[in-house]
Structure 1
Amino acid sequence: MEYGNKTKEELISELEELKVLLKKQNDKQYLIEHQLGERLKELNCYNRLSEIMSNPAISVDDVCTQVVQIIPESWQFPEFAQASVSVKNKVYSTPDFIKTSNSQIQEIKVNQKVIGQIEVCYPLDQLPATDQIFLPEESNLLFSIAVKLGNYIEKEERKNALQASEAKYKDLIENINDVIYTTDNQANITFISPSIEKLLGYSPNEVIGKNFLAFIGDNQEFLMKRFDELQKKFELQNDYQIRSKSGELHWIRFSSKAVIKEEKFIGATGTLIDITDKKLMEIELQNSEALYRSIIAASPDSITFTDLEGKILFSSPKSLELFGYSGIDAFKNRTILDFIHPEDHIKAQTLIGQMFQGNRTGASDYRAIHANGKTFDIEVNADFIYDSEGRPTGIVFITRDISNRKIIERKLAKSEEQYRNLVESVNDVIYEIDSTGNIKYASPSTLQVLGYSAEEVTGQNIFSFVYPDDVPVIYE
């Protein structure tokens, strides 16, 4: 550099320019170094957050506690910065955290729902000497931390919910009485719940890996046919007899559902329920019904079941013969009163009403209406049908034709009337006594002959009307 031709003032001016240029270069270098330092703090913050949140051994509480310690170190003035994280009414803060007006706040969201916030602030009495307390990059960093923390909390909540659900269903599967199973597409058992041991005596390990055919016995062909149908119908229910480990036969109900993946049948899932008691009851009921149907069919009387309103639910074949109908549809949607003469309806309704009041009415006579429109005499016995708890659910009517008996009764009544008229018209006394001599009947002529009315002598001993000296003669 040449100085000989320059004045002192020129040299001083150049020196000042050099100083300014050097200062600018130093300021630029400082700014670059400062920015690099801030970015380094941000990068360090990200790395530490990732390290913390990837640790499966710590909880959300632990993560939030450590986050508030990391945040101040990542800000422009870490020696003054304070931080607070609030999540669902829980607050995690740096020591002596005080909320001030010099703060940055960022919401924490999970599934688009605000669950808390992160706040960074500086104490008012310790404000750094700077024109820009919070850098734009710090706002971005705070946003990124909030997003990262929100994603972490969401992931943990899903994980906890899944674990709770798995524990719940595991407990349910292990303790439910019904057996839950899965198979592959060849009916090989891939899973079976522990309740199989209670049901059939086998442990799950003794069953898993085996084909269901090994337990079905004589129903193997039918089972495979139904298993093939399952692929088309998707849901099926069947009952099979399966022999337990101890050799006992059990009726088991299979409720199966096809498992489809990518439009292919890959197996089945379902439940096994022991219905042995129910099945035996059904068989017993069927046998009982067959027995009672045989008894009803063989009964010489008509047997009819109605509801409590008298609507006919069932009538035995004898009913058709009794009322002169050719088909059972004749009783469909009709009541018992439809077959009784209208003049006897009040009598029938009264007696049924007495039944509801707890009074047993016994057999009653009615006039019935034949299919040909003619009237004939019937005798009806009625009683309630009760359920297992003793509540009446219907009424059974046993009906027989008493037309011949009524004819005989009418003839006897007429004959009795004729003989009574004959006895009462003769002048001689006609009487009837029992084995002890008590008068059971005396004709009206008693009044004319003895001066006593028939009513006065009835019940008296005949020897009380005989002169004492003649009693031995009568005995002889």
Structure 2
Amino acid sequence: MDMKDKSKEQLLEELDKLKKEYDSLKQLHQKTIEEQNLSIKQIRDIIEYNPISLQIVDKDGYSLLVNESFKLLFGAVPQKNYSVFEDLQIKELKYDYLFEKLRGGESVRFPDLYYNAHEVDISVPDTPVWIRMIAFPLFDADGVPERFVLMHQNISERKKTEKALRESEENYRLLLELAPDAFFQGDAVGNFIMANKRAMTFTGYSEEELLTMNMRQLFSSSELNKKPLRFDLLDKGEIITAEREILRKEGSTVIVEMTSRKMPNGTYQSFMRDISERKVFEKTLIENERKLKTIIETSPDGIAISALDGTVQFVTNQIVSLWGYSSSEEIIGRNVLEFVDEVHRDKASYLISEMLKGNLTGAAEYVMLRKDCSKFYCESNANVLHDSNNNPVGIIFVNRDITLRKQTEFELIRAKELAEESEAKYRLVFENAPLGLIHFDSKGRIISCNEEFVRIIGSSKQALEGLDMLKLPDKKIVEAVEISLTGGLGHYEDYYHSITANKTTPVQVLFAPIFTNEKIIGGVGIIQDITERKKSEEVLKEQNEEYLALNEELLQTNEELYKAKRLVEDSEAFLMNIL
């Protein structure tokens, strides 16, 4: 039906309908424009207030828009003649291929950049920063890249933290490598994941071999049956110190003192110290009963003897002093368990009963009580004394104050955890280590030293720091330092006379190099005061000489008796012939 066939009313009705549709479309168009404007504003707000630096550039790399974070990061708005695609710092790093990918429509992530905006705009402060940059294209209606968005993140603090962590880990590893004890680290089931050089010489295995082994493989089956590894106690947070016999690669055995604990990351760490010499010394004490009193009185450890029921019968002066009493009369007649803190009293009672049954219990650690009720850590070795018929008649206890050692162990373990977090906490370990520690530069000059080193030398930090060790009169020290500065380990053991203090001290020293980028920048020295060891060696030497003299006297007496016997026999024979 054409226009002629329609009535006026129909035409007006259709016109009204079209007008309503137009008004509806107009409102929809207006709403769409408002939503677009709102979206554009939201996008601009997102760009402007985004904490990440944002930059939009055209297809030639010239800046179209930057946000406030960009200005804060780089210090200014890019100049009009600056194209990011022509940035010389980025070109020198040969990242042009990444820009080519970006222009080709790919999103790209640049390696971390050490960037200085001052080289682009001299009005900007000369302050380089580490940045992480990600870029992606914006496409036109035909799918062709026409603009590019660059996002920058300041990672300078992260880089500083990573550097500090690396240096802290290197220092920690160096301390472990120079430690006199063997160090092992195992995973949650005891498989080794780390060991120091001392552990390799200790066990006879190479590093590659150890990293394929489990802790249990260092012990024989009989040793594990007698003393199982107590992972259950470690999991409860206990620090376990026990004497064990390890099996070396070539089949020999070594008695060690093993201290273990579980770390916060779920791994286990153990330090092992060779105590074979101490065990030989204890055996010698038992075998030489006629020298027992002399050895007891000259022993650096405190020694007590009790009856089988625990009643104290004899104590050395060291025990009197160690337990905080004025005389032995205050101790003799009391039960030995009275001097053990109640937290370890049941343990001590149990180990004594096991020892009386013939089971070797080895050294044990206890918390002991002094007269004034103060407490201290004690390592106690005990054994049964026998008469000439091998009947048990008493118990001998050898006590050693290990409070300092336990405190040192706790401090070192804690210091290790802190050293992994920061260099400042590593310095705490350095200053409070139980061994003397020094740092020296590539010319052999002491840069820093701890208080223990100052104590050993008997001088002061002011006199020691800056000292040129290559000019010392002791040529053996000079030679050891020179070895470390050429990449080796320098060793020194002798009576050292300090030139900064009128003091001579027997010391054992290890010098080791410190490398940076395969270049020796100095070294570290670990110094141990061996005065007590030297004293013990002198005592043993004197006792050995006394023993040899007594033996010689006995041989002479036997010879005289033999001559006298022959004389009597000859006289009897002569008389018989006369009769």
Q: Distance in 2 between matches of 1:316 and 1:433?
A: 40
Provide the secondary structure at the position in 2 that maps to 1:378: strand
Counterparts in 2 of 1:414 and 1:172: CA distance versus 1, 3 Å: farther
Q: Is the 8 A contact 1:306 1:394 kept in 2?
A: yes
Q: Which residue of the partner structure matches residue 313 of structure 1?
A: 193
Q: 2:152 aligns with which of 257, 272, 282?
A: 272
Choose from 242, 261, 268 the match for 1:383.
261
In the TM superposition, what are the counterparts of 1:89-238 in structure 2 within 5 Å?
152=28, 162-203=36-77, 206=78, 210-212=82-84, 217=89, 220-228=92-100, 230=102, 234-238=107-111
Aligned equivalents of 2:75, 2:64: Cα separation in 1: 18
> Which residue number corresponds to residue 115 of structure 2?
242
Q: Please, which runs of 5 or more residues in structure 2 have no aligned partner?
A: 118-123, 296-313, 321-325, 333-392, 396-579
Structure 1 residue 433: deviation in Å?
7.9
Greater displacement, 180-189 / 274-283: 180-189
Determine whether 1:253 maps to 2:132.
yes
**Cα contact 1:239–1:253 (8 A) shared by 2:** yes
1:48 aligned residue: 19
CA-to-partner distance for each residue in 1:428-467, whole Å, 9 max, x for gaps? xxx99869985799xxxxxxxxxxx999xxxxxxxxxxxx
Unaligned 5+ residue runs, structure 1? Answer: 1-30, 60-151, 387-391, 424-430, 442-452, 456-476
Distance 1:217 1:398 in 2: 50
| Cα pair distance change 1:264/1:156, threshold 3 Å | closer
Q: CA deviation digits over 1:225-267, x for unaligned, max 9?
A: 5434555774223211233644332211112235577686656
State the match for 1:372 in structure 2. Answer: 250
Residues 217 and 234 of structure 1: is their aligned pair in 2 closer, same or farther, counting only changes over 3 Å?
A: closer
CA–CA distance in structure 1, aligned partners of residues 197 and 59 of structure 2: 52
Go from structure 1 to structure 2 and tell me whether the alpha carbon gap of 1:43 and 1:394 turns closer, same or farther (over 3 Å shift).
Answer: same
Letter in 2 for 1:322: F
Distance 2:293 2:327 in 1: 25
Mark the structure with the bigger radius of gyration. 1
Structure 1 equivalent of residue 291 of structure 2 = 419
In structure 1, the partner of 2:184 is 304
Q: Which residue in 2 is equivalent to 1:68? A: none
Across the aligned residues of Structure 1 and Structure 2, the Cα RMSD in angstroms comes to 4.4
Contact 1:215 1:242 in 2 (8 A): no
Tell me by how many angstroms 1:156 deviates: 6.6
How many angstroms does 1:182 deviate by? 3.0
Compare 251-260 and 281-290 and name the one that shifted more.
251-260
Post-superposition offset of 1:375? 2.6
Deviations 1:368-420 (A, max 9, x none): 1222343322222223433xxxxx533321223333443344334433x4535
Deviations 1:65-104 (A, max 9, x none): xxxxxxxxxxxxxxxxxxxxxxxxxxxxxxxxxxxxxxxx
Give the Å deviation of 1:287.
1.4
Query: Do the aligned residues in 1 keep the contact of 2:237 with 2:262 (CA within 8 Å)?
Result: no
- Whole-angstrom CA distance in 1 between matches of 2:272 and 2:315: 38
Pairing 1:339–2:213 present: no
Rounded Cα–Cα distance in structure 1 between residues aligned with 2:234 and 2:194: 20
Q: Deviations over 1:151-199 (max 9, x none)?
A: x5xx677656555544443332222211223334443333333321333
Distance 2:52 2:231 in 1: 48
- 1:179 & 1:221 partners in 2: Cα distance? 21
Work out the percentage of aligned pairs sharing the same amino acid. Answer: 15
Instruction: Tell me the residue number matched to 1:135.
Output: none
How far, CA to CA, are the matches of 2:166 and 2:208 in structure 1?
22
Q: In structure 1, how many angstroms separate the alpha carbons of the residues matched to 2:57 and 2:47?
A: 16
Q: Does the CA contact (< 8 Å) of 1:180 and 1:270 recur in 2? A: yes
CA distance in 2, matches of 1:258, 1:346: 68
Distance 1:32 1:51 in 2: 21
For the Cα contact (< 8 Å) 2:239–2:259, is it kept in 1?
no
CA 1:413–1:184: 2 relative to 1, 3 Å? farther
Deviation at 1:280, TM superposition (A): 0.6
- The one-letter amino acid of 1:396's match is Q
